[in-house]
Amino acid sequence: MFVAGKYDVIVIGAGHAGVEAALASARIGCKTLLTTLNMDNIAMMPCNPSVGGPAKGHLVRELDALGGEMGLNADKTCIQYRMLNTGKGPAVHALRAQADKKLYQFTMKETCETQQNLDVKQLLVEKLLVENDTIQGIQIETGEIYYCRAAILASGTYLRGKIILGENSYTGGPNGQRAAEKLSSSLQTLGVELMRFKTGTPARVDRRTLDFSKMIIQPGDEEAHNFSFMSDITTREQVPCWLTYTNEQTHQVIRDNLYRAPMANGMIEGIGPRYCPSIETKIVRFPDKEKHQLFLEPEGLNTEEMYVQGMSTSLPIDVQMKFLKTIPGLENVQIMRPGYAIEYDCVDPLQLKLSLEFKKIHGFFSAGQANGTSGYEEAAAQGLIAGINAAMFVKDQEPLILKRSDAYIGVLIDDLVTKGTHEPYRIMTSRAEYRLLLRQDNADLRLTEKGRRVGLVSDERYARFSEKRQSIEETLILLKNIKINPNKETLLKLQAIGSSDIRTTTSLYDLLKRTELSYDLVQSQFELPAVSAEVKNQLEIMVWYEGYIKKQLEQVERTEKLEEKLLPDSIDYAIVPSLRDEAREKLSFIKPRSIGQASRISGVSPADISILLVYLEQNRRSGGIR
Amino acid sequence: MQIDTISAIATAVGEGGIGIIRISGKQAVDIASKIFQAKNHLPMRDIISHQATYGSVIDPVNSTIIDEVLCIPMYAPHSYTREDVVEIHCHGGSLPLRRILELTFKAGARLAEPGEFTKRAFLNGRLDLSQAQAVMDIIRSKTDASLRMAVGQLEGCFSDKIREYRHQILEMIAHLEAAIDFPEDDIDEVATDEVRDNIIILREEMVKLLKTGKTGRILREGLETAIIGKPNVGKSSLLNLLLNENRAIVTDIPGTTRDIIEEYANIGGVPLKIIDTAGIRETEDIVEQLGVEKACSYIERADLVLALFDFSREISSEDKQILALLAKKEALILINKSDLEAKLDIAYIKSVLPNHKIIEISTISEAGLPELETAIVDMVYSGQVQAEEGAFVNNVRQIEALRQTDEHLEEALQTIHREMSPDFIVIDLRSAWEKLGEITGDTVGEDIIDQIFSQFCIGK
């Protein structure tokens, strides 16, 4: 057989997971191959034209801090930014942007093409070559072989993809792409267990057939935002979205045609996500709701296509047209691409380690929608981690594993490989137990150092970061050390900034705790340095929410010890005495990395954890686990 | 080294005149010093390791003396767990033990998990390798026993209530979280006033549950017990037997009524608060005038009635009046003087009270006493629970979890009062919800997210 090439790392699929994986691996210094079914569809956005939102925006910021590409790419190509949840606490502020889909794609494509150490090739992978439980390479559709030391599966929704549209269905990937038909069986031959999931997308409609006067405009924020710590964009052209609502007439059309919906006629077997229900599901499940909102979102600057957010559907095209026309502003709507559902194979993520490597196949990693997640951001985050860890594998170094207290990325991966998922998994802020610590405003402070360790953080970024961190630390010391006394001069100063008198000697730190004060106000009266807006923001959050932050840090400290107690791969749970059978079974299958991870497995009780601790200690004293 | 400090009752309840509370961990000495005052006023830190010091346990909140005790600090590594350990030796009745244990919680300890002292002893190198297997077995068996009992006790309305409270909290969390995670979906903004009102109502209900809930109240206040019967039937002897002065499980604790000294008997871990013990003693030897009227008022007050009948005498009209009063009451029928010749018509009693348990006893030979104890425990725990240490400990666990839940709810109210945003309120509500889960054994899982999706139509 013809050997077409040899690489350190091969990435299968060039969606949001694949590009991050390939870029990370190449940037760390591994000779990397990125494969795609279609060169024109690298980093394609087949569903909504947006990046970010609650928890998702956090992921992008984290990814950026670690040296990922999504944040930078979004900042170069997005056409509207909004900070969501600004009325709530800083932990849940969330940046969301509308992307120009094609611009996003081709900018990312260029980044990949010009990346040193990285080859991008259009080809279809059909078979994985594995020997001695270790990945050796891939074989492609046309028979050629590429050898590698590590490979990453980032196949998205393409594995045995099936498009369902009303009464019709056909084999294929999203947006009229080919599906990967044979890779699934290659995986199954290797003993990988697959699940069947489903997701859907709404119609794209012609902007010129919409009447925006009947809709509510949703403009971007006036203040400029960026995802990336390294983006300095202060002005950009912003395009609005539009809000309108369904009504009883819409619902009636859908109800009348429910019998033609694939979910009703049994054509869909896969499990769909609850947070992204089709409009027909919404109407069945919440019959009392009089109207559902929908957003019309631009797909880009140079297209008339508009995305109908909130109206995901797999009803036949005639029904789609009929119900859309009942909506104010859409009376004359023309559909350019209909909505559809897609079913696909994905990997049961319980088979993966926290590094995203398969437990049973050394050097083989999996990331993104192929792991049962949904969303570009979730995919990108996993891709980055898989890319880093494939590189670490090649270099025979420790993998990068983020804890739940480090990052949303840690929460995402820990949830997947510890609890598994029964529907396409979406990250949410409510999944993070240490939400107050994992803010989007401090992603750089949490993770830049870790990105630096693996070699993804450039000198430029690191210098910039170090400067910010130093400024925060120094100013914090000043705030604590500068003390003011209750006297006439102080009184006047406090009056000037609308604050009441102090009774005892008070540090500026404590003064800043007053709800009516800000760093700027305190600085206007007392001797403090002028600092950047980001530094001010950090200081204020640290001071204002000190009590709550402390509480969460204590919680982290309590559980941290258990996270650090590692469970060797070689433990045979069958011979650990006194474990309950259910615990024994789950532990054997999931093979948790640490006692902490073990404690989060459903069916493993605190008593089982105690027993494991005793067992570990017993083995430590008797000279290690055999 | 373990981070937190644990405490538990180290002696089996209901046996022995002395009860021991053991505290282990970094803060053990600090915790003890908050609640123990040496007679010689020596500060806790200055007491020499392994030296017993006489003094009192005092509730730091209201400075009342809980019990006279001996306090023994054992500094690391010369202790059972190789951590700092303090043992407090008090009277063996369950009430002083429970009160002291609760004080250790308030001072910063947490209740030890089953087998945790032994586990720590092993992890800290105190026990040798050959004992590892035994340690694991202890953890398993104690946990299983404790779970079985907890489940037994939780049957019925108590656990229903807890689940209901949990669900109420969950609904609040789901609403707040839905608005946070899906800010662009049309979810009604949560009115924090509403959350506040819900929390206030919930707290009131929880306090009520703690007060009126059977197990909770019994452990807090004791089971109000009336001993009734005609003169000379043996009320006083039974009282002495139950109080069992020789086994020193009696404590005098000023009751809610200022003037009356109430006495507690400890029967299989259940504290019995015997009504009007003084009255029983005084009237037993003299001709009793108001026997039946008194019995009537006792029965009304009591949670448990112990009705005595004389095996050696025919049924009298007084007996019949008493039997009539018992028809609608939880009562144990005790046939005393079973060692004497039978003259009592037991069949008659059975015909009047077919559903009441009848136990033959002798206050002289103490025959039938174990059966009486079992019957009492069974009545309290609906026959589900064996009277082991666990029965008591699990109740402490529940009460402690409820108390901590209430603390978290209180914090949530403060957060609302400070006009903090919903994501901060959720922090406290989540803690409260998780605490309640510890009582019912429901684990934290996808519940919150499930609730969000079942309650709201979300998604784009």
The partner residue sitting opposite A429, judged by closest CB among B115, B136, B180, is B180
Predicted local confidence at residue B153, as pLDDT: 54
CB pairs under 8 A between A and B: 131
Same domain membership, residue B225 and residue B208: no
**Residues in B touching A57 (Cβ below 8 Å):** none
CB A63 within 8 A of CB A454: no
Tell me: cis bond preceding B77? Omega within 30 of 0 counts.
Answer: yes
Q: Which residue did the predictor score with more confidence, A580 or A409?
A: A409
**Residue A6 pLDDT greater than 70, yes or no:** yes
Predicted local confidence at residue A560, as pLDDT: 87
Predicted local confidence at residue B405, as pLDDT: 92
Coil, strand or helix: which one is B110?
strand
- Best mutation target among A611, A622, A625 (most B Cβ atoms within 10 Å) is A611
> In this structure, what CATH number is given to the domain that contains residue B186?
1.20.120.430
CB A148 within 8 A of CB A33: yes
Residue A325 and residue A333: Cα distance in Å, rounded? 6
Q: Does A620 touch chain B (CB under 8 A)?
A: no
What does residue A572 show for φ and ψ, rounded to 5 degrees?
-100, 105
**Residues in A touching B186 (Cβ below 8 Å):** 293
Structural domain includes residue B168? yes
Predicted local confidence at residue B216, as pLDDT: 54
Structural domain includes residue B138? no
- Best mutation target among A431, A618, A619 (most B Cβ atoms within 10 Å) is A618
Residue span of the structural domain in which B224 resides = 220-377
Structural domain includes residue B75? yes
Same domain membership, residue B289 and residue B328: yes
What domains does chain A contain, in order, with CATH numbers? 204-341 (2.40.30.260), 469-551 (1.10.10.1800), 565-621 (1.10.150.570)
Residue with tokens 């690391």: B76
Please give the structure tokens belonging to residue A314: 């797999």
CB–CB of A558 and B421 under 8 A?
no
CB–CB of A614 and B122 under 8 A?
yes
Q: What angle do CA A602, A606, A612 make, to 5 degrees?
A: 100
- Best mutation target among B123, B138, B181 (most A Cβ atoms within 10 Å) is B181
Q: Convert A306-330 to b/e letters by CB count within 10 Å (16 or more is b).
A: bbbbbbbbbbbbebbbbbbebbebb
* B234 annotated binding-site participant: yes
| Contact partners, residue A94, CB within 8 Å, separation at least 6 | A52, A53, A54, A55, A56, A57, A58, A83, A84, A85, A429, A440, B183
CB–CB of A285 and B183 under 8 A?
no
Structural domain includes residue B1? no
Same domain membership, residue B109 and residue B79: yes
Predicted local confidence at residue A619, as pLDDT: 85
Q: Is pTM, for the whole model, over 0.90?
A: no
Looking at chain A from residue 280 to 299, which residues have their Cβ under 8 Å from any Cβ of chain B?
282, 285-286, 289, 292-293, 295
Q: Which of B377, B410, B428 is the last residue of a domain?
A: B377
Predicted local confidence at residue B94, as pLDDT: 66
Predicted local confidence at residue A242, as pLDDT: 97
CB atoms within 10 A of CB B63: 8
Beta-strand pair A94-99/A50-52: antiparallel
Closest alpha carbon within chain B to A82: B184
The sheet with strand A50-52 has its strands ordered as A50-52, A94-99, A78-84
Same domain membership, residue B409 and residue B345: no
Lowest mean pLDDT among A129-138, A143-152, A603-612: A603-612
Q: Convert A344-376 to b/e letters by CB count within 10 Å (16 or more is b).
A: bbbbbbbbbbbbbbbeebebbbbbbbbbbbbbb
| Total residues belonging to chain A | 626
**Residues in B touching A577 (Cβ below 8 Å):** 133, 136-137
Predicted local confidence at residue B390, as pLDDT: 38
Same domain membership, residue B252 and residue B351: yes
Same domain membership, residue B269 and residue B165: no
Structural domain includes residue B383? no
Please give the structure tokens belonging to residue A509: 């730190």
**Residues in A touching B140 (Cβ below 8 Å):** 578, 580, 607, 611
> In this structure, what CATH number is given to the domain that contains residue B328?
3.40.50.300
Q: What percent of chain A has pLDDT over 70?
A: 99
CB–CB of B140 and A607 under 8 A?
yes
CB B152 within 8 A of CB B385: yes
Distance from CA of B209 to the nearest CA of A (A): 27
Nearest to B367 by CA among B403, B344, B335: B335
Closest alpha carbon within chain B to A276: B459
**Residues in A touching B432 (Cβ below 8 Å):** none
* B251 annotated binding-site participant: yes
Instruction: Compute chain A's Rg from CA coordinates.
Output: 26
Please name the residue ranges forming H helices in B244-368: 277-285, 291-301, 317-325, 346-352
Same domain membership, residue B322 and residue B250: yes
Closest alpha carbon within chain B to A579: B140
Distance from CA of B178 to the nearest CA of A (A): 9
Same domain membership, residue B170 and residue B112: no
**Residues in B touching A277 (Cβ below 8 Å):** 457-459
Q: Does A436 touch chain B (CB under 8 A)?
A: yes
CB–CB of B180 and A621 under 8 A?
no
Q: Which of B377, B409, B435 is the last residue of a domain?
A: B377
Question: DSSP assignment of B376-439, as one string?
Answer: HHHHHTTT----SHHHHHHHHHHHHHHHHHHHHHHHHHHHHHTT--HHHHHHHHHHHHHHHHHH
Looking at chain A from residue 510 to 549, which residues have their Cβ under 8 Å from any Cβ of chain B?
545, 548
Residue B92 and residue A181: Cα distance in Å, rounded? 74
Please give the structure tokens belonging to residue A115: 């990346």
CB B38 within 8 A of CB B52: no
Structural domain includes residue B385? no
Structural domain includes residue B110? yes
- What is the amino acid identity at position B361? I
Q: Residues of A within the annotated binding site for FAD?
A: 13-18
Closest alpha carbon within chain B to A557: B3
Coil, strand or helix: which one is A521?
helix
Q: Does A471 touch chain B (CB under 8 A)?
A: no
Predicted local confidence at residue B1, as pLDDT: 47
Residue B420 and residue B418: Cα distance in Å, rounded? 5
Distance from CA of A226 to the nearest CA of B (A): 20
Q: Does A625 touch chain B (CB under 8 A)?
A: no
Nearest to A223 by CA among A42, A356, A93: A93
Please give the structure tokens belonging to residue B230: 């005609």
Residues A444-469 have a mean pLDDT of 97
* A357-406 residue pLDDT tens: 999 999 999 999 999 999 999 999 999 999 999 999 999 999 999 999 99
Predicted local confidence at residue A505, as pLDDT: 94
**Residues in B touching A605 (Cβ below 8 Å):** 143
Residues A341-365 have a mean pLDDT of 96
Element (H, E) at A480: helix A459-481
The sign of the torsion formed by the CA atoms of A20, A26, A28, A31 equals positive
* Local confidence pLDDT in tens for the 460 residues of chain B: 467 899 998 876 554 578 899 999 999 999 999 999 999 999 998 999 999 999 999 998 888 888 889 999 999 999 999 999 999 998 876 677 888 988 999 899 988 888 889 889 888 888 887 777 888 887 777 777 666 655 555 555 567 788 889 999 999 999 999 989 998 887 777 788 899 999 999 999 888 776 655 555 555 556 778 888 877 788 778 887 877 643 333 333 332 222 333 466 767 666 677 776 555 555 544 444 445 666 777 777 777 888 888 888 888 888 888 888 888 777 889 998 888 887 888 888 888 888 888 899 888 888 888 888 888 877 765 533 333 333 444 567 777 888 889 999 999 999 999 989 999 999 999 999 988 887 776 655 567 777 777 777 776 5
CB B122 within 8 A of CB A597: no
Same domain membership, residue B256 and residue B300: yes
Question: DSSP assignment of A22-65, as one string?
Answer: HHHHHHHT--EEEEES-GGGTT---S-SEEE-TTHHHHHHHHHH
Predicted local confidence at residue A253, as pLDDT: 96
| Total residues belonging to chain B | 460
**Residues in A touching B119 (Cβ below 8 Å):** 610, 613-614
* B301 annotated binding-site participant: no
User: How many domains does the structure of chain B reveal?
Assistant: 3
| Contact partners, residue A205, CB within 8 Å, separation at least 6 | A296, A305, A306, A308, A324, A330, A333, A334, A335, A336
Residue B212 and residue B217: Cα distance in Å, rounded? 6
CB–CB of B422 and A88 under 8 A?
yes
Same domain membership, residue B290 and residue B348: yes
Residue with tokens 């993998």: A399
The sign of the torsion formed by the CA atoms of B127, B132, B136, B142 equals negative
Helix A56-65 to helix A70-77 angle (10° resolution) is: 110
Lowest mean pLDDT among A232-236, A607-611, B137-141: B137-141
Residue A88 and residue A104: Cα distance in Å, rounded? 30
Nearest to B242 by CA among B223, B258, B214: B223
Same domain membership, residue B268 and residue B169: no
Closest alpha carbon within chain B to A275: B459
Nearest to B218 by CA among B153, B172, B298: B153
**Residue A625 pLDDT greater than 80, yes or no:** no
CB–CB of B183 and A94 under 8 A?
yes
Looking at chain A from residue 202 to 241, which residues have their Cβ under 8 Å from any Cβ of chain B?
none
Structural domain includes residue B46? yes
Distance from CA of A89 to the nearest CA of B (A): 6
CB B291 within 8 A of CB B243: no
Coil, strand or helix: which one is A469?
helix
Q: Does A607 touch chain B (CB under 8 A)?
A: yes
Closest alpha carbon within chain B to A48: B460
Residue A488 and residue A504: Cα distance in Å, rounded? 13
Same domain membership, residue B239 and residue B372: yes
Distance from CA of A204 to the nearest CA of B (A): 14
CB B51 within 8 A of CB B72: yes
Q: Residues of A within the annotated binding site for NAD(+)?
A: 272-286
* A275-320 residue pLDDT tens: 778 899 889 888 889 999 999 999 999 999 999 999 999 899 999 9
> In this structure, what CATH number is given to the domain that contains residue B114?
3.30.1360.120
Q: Which of B377, B411, B445 is the last residue of a domain?
A: B377
The partner residue sitting opposite B183, judged by closest CB among A54, A292, A614, is A54
